[in-house]
Amino acid sequence: MSSNRETYRYDPGSLRDPSDLMQPERLAALKQTRLSFARLMMDKMTEEQWDISRSRGGYDENGVGRAVYAIETPSHRFSFGVFSHESQEGAHTGRIVAEDWDMWGFLCDGDPAPELMDIQYEELPKVREGRATSDILIWTRGNRSSVFDHVVDSLAADHQPDIERLARGGYLTRSSGYYGNGLNGTKEFKAMNNDHPLSGPYMAQMLTIWLLRIYGFDVAEEMAAERSANAATLDYDIKRYLGTGNSSGIGIIHYVINHPQLMHTWLRAREVALGRVKTISPTSDEIDQFQSLLTRATAWFREDESDTKEYFVAKDRIADELERIARKLPTHCSENTPSTSWAELCQWTEDNLTTGTQEVLHSLVLDVHPEVTDGLENTLTVTEKSDIVPGMTLEQLQSLLSERYRWALDIDMTEPGSQRYFWYRSIDSEEPRLGIRGEHDYEEYEFPIDIARQVQRLELDLQQHRPSETVGEFLLQHPDHRGIVERIQTVHALPYAEIRTNPLDAEFVPLSLISCLKAIWGIQKAHPKSKGWVRGTFFQGAPLPVDVRRGDDSYWLYPEKPERADHWRGR
């Protein structure tokens, strides 16, 4: 959106201090940016003008059927195989381990033969025991939304659905999981060549999320057409407005804490982009671009009726504060004050507005200056190697604790409620669970995500040894500390690796870390259902296959709610 400029330099010291960024409250406020995986996927698709169409199959009046969607890229062909199902009323729950879904699908290299479709029809419903093949990249299962039947009924009656009802959720279909990277026998991503179109982090998952959106439109329209010869088709603007639903629970906590190198890499890329953009003194055209995006975002948050409960900043408050930014903007950004930079507006926002609004502002200024993200997408792939450094002295290890893990040592683990919870995986359902210490069984199976407690226990034992001893000698006597020592030695120099919280504490809100990872993925709307479960929407406003084919790179975030088109016939 902005004019081309040379790569911007930034002061590494200007990046946000981890003592601020790595707090759960701040991480919960993060929003999607140009470096989020959903947006990177969409940019790649439109830039390369991928051709996506249904190559065979269809659905009956109940939405039952099977189909294959072909995805043609300049160098590769993929397919999305779909099995559409009519679930019994009340039979599906949406949980990962549920046995009944409205659809099953898989993304694979090449074109799936009928024999493969038949095999996957039998295997996909087997959540734990089913087997994919080495050509299959992603498995997914999905359900229709609460407004799906309303859409079908409306189209069958030859009119468009109620926009207000659609806007509350923003999607027709949703899935809670996209399984790949070796799970159930799927292809491991490290087996992909560097020139593979989906070799980047989460690219295969994001493509599958987008394809589930297209499937939802098709099955709704065909169900309506089977019921009535006069059925309408869904308005183009309504299709653009709707995304794909997603729900996530507390299992994400394990992922976020157990992948510190990934978290550092992904968060640092965002911070570098933000550091670059803060050095820019915007031109009048760039100010106008920002004003336009700000207006779009304000309307979008104002229209969002989802209940944020007590966990997120209310959408109306964000809209109000975005209007405050609009009123403040002429003072901070003007052609007549060339020394003014985005840093000043960001600082004013940090001093006066909530964290949720601050992160919306960060996302918007990056959208005005896409060039500041150039090259950063190539840094998002990281090898998570780690190992013990046995020759390090205990004095050196203690120094790392004092300098890099002071936050962990300062947490009072003796406070009432500080160790209330323990985390484990259910044997029966294989789902992550949160237990209450002393009241629930399975404490012996507790997952070691208690970084602060481990650090404190390590320091206590270090005090019983000479500083000149080595880590190797220490671990021979205390092998239980190997995991935390290896972690410290591996990530101590990565400022955004450790989240500064105690997930055992009674006051810990899992939703904060769930929201953080979803923002990195690129989710737009987030609807908390409880403190450990959130639903949200991907790709709301994103291009459709016809737009991708023609390379439509227009800005699609914060889509305007379309007006109702009662008798629209096609486009």
Tokens 């040894």 belong to 465
d(CA 275, CA 362): 10
Q: What is the pLDDT of residue 127?
A: 74
Q: Is the pLDDT of residue 96 over 70?
A: no
Residues 175 and 283 in one domain: no
Half-sphere exposure of 561 (CA within 13 A, CB side): 19
Q: What is the pLDDT of residue 93?
A: 57
Residues 214 and 290 in one domain: no
Residues 147 and 261 in one domain: no
Instruction: Work out the number of other CB atoms within 10 angstroms of the CB of residue 54.
Output: 16
Q: Is the pLDDT of residue 569 over 90?
A: no
Span 160-182, mean pLDDT? 91
Q: Is residue 502 part of a domain?
A: no
Q: What is the pLDDT of residue 570?
A: 39
Span 313-336, mean pLDDT? 82
Q: Is the pLDDT of residue 409 over 60?
A: yes
Residues 178 and 320 in one domain: no
The per-residue pLDDT for range 549-563, each reduced to its tens digit, is 999 999 999 999 998
CB burial readout 161-183, b (16+ within 10 A) else e: bebeebbebbbbbbbbbbbbeee
Residues 196 and 294 in one domain: no
Give the number of residues written for the chain: 571
Span 423-442, mean pLDDT? 83
Span 251-276, mean pLDDT? 96
The least confident of 234-243, 261-270, 432-441 is: 432-441
Residues 297 and 158 in one domain: no
Q: Is residue 370 part of a domain?
A: yes
Residues 221 and 289 in one domain: no
Q: Provide the CA 43 distance to its chain's centre, in angstroms.
A: 16
Tell me which H or E stretch contains 545.
Answer: helix 545-549
How much is the mean pLDDT over the chain? 91
Q: Is the pLDDT of residue 12 over 90?
A: no
**Number of domains making up the chain:** 2
Residues 322 and 372 in one domain: yes
Q: What is the pLDDT of residue 4?
A: 45
Tokens 């403190």 belong to 531
Residues 180 and 243 in one domain: yes
Residues 212 and 330 in one domain: no
Q: Is the pLDDT of residue 329 over 90?
A: no
Q: What is the pLDDT of residue 10?
A: 77
Span 243-254, mean pLDDT? 91
Q: Is residue 24 part of a domain?
A: no
Q: What is the pLDDT of residue 95?
A: 58
Q: Is residue 439 part of a domain?
A: no
Q: Is residue 59 part of a domain?
A: yes
Q: What is the pLDDT of residue 61?
A: 95
The least confident of 293-297, 380-384, 524-528, 542-546 is: 524-528
Q: What is the pLDDT of residue 122?
A: 93
In the structure, what pLDDT confidence band is assigned to residue 11 with cuts at 50, 70 and 90? confident
Whether pTM > 0.95 for this model: the answer is no
Q: Is the pLDDT of residue 454 over 60?
A: yes
Residues 244 and 260 in one domain: no
Q: Is residue 411 part of a domain?
A: no
Residues 233 and 344 in one domain: no
State the residue range of the domain holding 212: 37-249+538-549
Say what percent of the chain tops pLDDT 70.
93
Q: Is residue 179 part of a domain?
A: yes
Among 61, 244, 89, residue whose Cα is nearest residue 152: 61
In the structure, what pLDDT confidence band is assigned to residue 440 with cuts at 50, 70 and 90? confident
Q: Is residue 119 part of a domain?
A: yes
Span 439-467, mean pLDDT? 94
Q: Among the residues of 192-235, which ranges form H helices? A: 203-227
